[in-house]
Structure 1
Amino acid sequence: MTQKQQAGKRRPGTPGAFSRWMQHTMNARMNRKVRRGQGSFMGMDVLVLHTVGSRSGQPRETPLAWFADGTDSWLVVASGGGSRHPDWHDNLMAQPGRAAVELPGRDAVPVAPHRLDGADRAQAWQRIAAAQPRIAKYQSKSDREYPVVRLTKR
């Protein structure tokens, strides 16, 4: 393989230009649906997570499936395609004081993220897996444990 061919080759697990464009397009479409009050996808409730890029400092908006966790608290799963934590998770943990969620048809609400561990994560995961068995199946195909993050209204 020539140097030019190697330079154009991407690392396994990293998206190519088309898939990155497609992801941005689909995220923008889902964000519009949530803002119009139609916040569900494939039987899952969806919110828009507002974060700030950990390196760029730019605002980011990511549609995510969420699961109820009492009043004014939501659970989200950082699956990231199975191979690594998604960018939104890194951004959220790097600048937790700048996070907010937007629920269908509502304005953004500031939230405080807390990554669950141990028994708290196990309890939350059981509720998530019971509500959406496909997420448990998805987790079973990965070598890493997906982070579960509780977002609590500030």
Structure 2
Amino acid sequence: MTHLSPIEQAGLRVLHLHDLLYQKTNGLIGHRVPGLPNSLLLHTVGAKTGQPRVNTLSYARDGGDYLVVASMGGAPRSPGWYHNLKARPEVEINVGTRRLAATARPILPDDPDYARLWQLVNKNNANRYEAYQRKTSRPIPIVALTPA
């Protein structure tokens, strides 16, 4: 967590509590939190372990797709969930209590639609992704989750 400021570290602890509550209630509590973007639960399978994994992520919408961002706060590496869905793009998401099968598609800066989608997700998350991108030299991927 050393790449995060003290305020970001405190925020991360609060988000961890939110994550636990959202997961323990199977999406009943935690989808919408005042002052924060809506969030979903991403269900993946560990690329190395084969074990089920669940992550709470903020999302934006683009048509029928749910857009999540593999920022990890601007860390030098992408988050584990990103590596998992690259290995196995068939995932499930909870949007509130609705659980949906989906296909994950990473979108990187060389994609012609990246700039438009980046503006959308960045605005949705109070311009935090722009700040995270300044912290790292890696391109931050956007992931489109398309329900089946």
**TM class by smaller structure:** 0.7 to 0.9
Matching of residues 2-151 of structure 1 within 5 Å: 26=17, 27-32=19-24, 35-41=27-33, 42-71=35-64, 73-82=65-74, 83-97=76-90, 99-106=91-98, 108-117=99-108, 118-132=111-125, 133-151=127-145
Moved over 2 A (4+): 25-34
% same residue: 31
Task: Report the RMSD for the aligned CA atoms in angstroms.
Answer: 2.4
Contact 1:75-1:148 within 8 A present in 2 as well: yes
Is the Cα contact below 8 Å between 1:111 and 1:151 reproduced in 2? yes
Q: Rg bigger for which structure?
A: 1
Gaps (5+ residues) in structure 1? 1-11, 14-21
Q: TM-score, normalised by structure 1?
A: 0.75
Q: How many residues align?
A: 132
With the length of structure 2 as denominator, give the TM-score of the two structures. 0.78
Structure 1 or 2: more helix by fraction: 1
* 8 A Cα contact 2:21 2:30, kept in partner: no
CA deviations on 1:75-99 (whole Å, 9 max, x unpaired) are: 00001232101000001110112x1
Deviations 1:41-60 (A, max 9, x none): 55111000000011111111
Gaps of 5+ in 2: 4-12
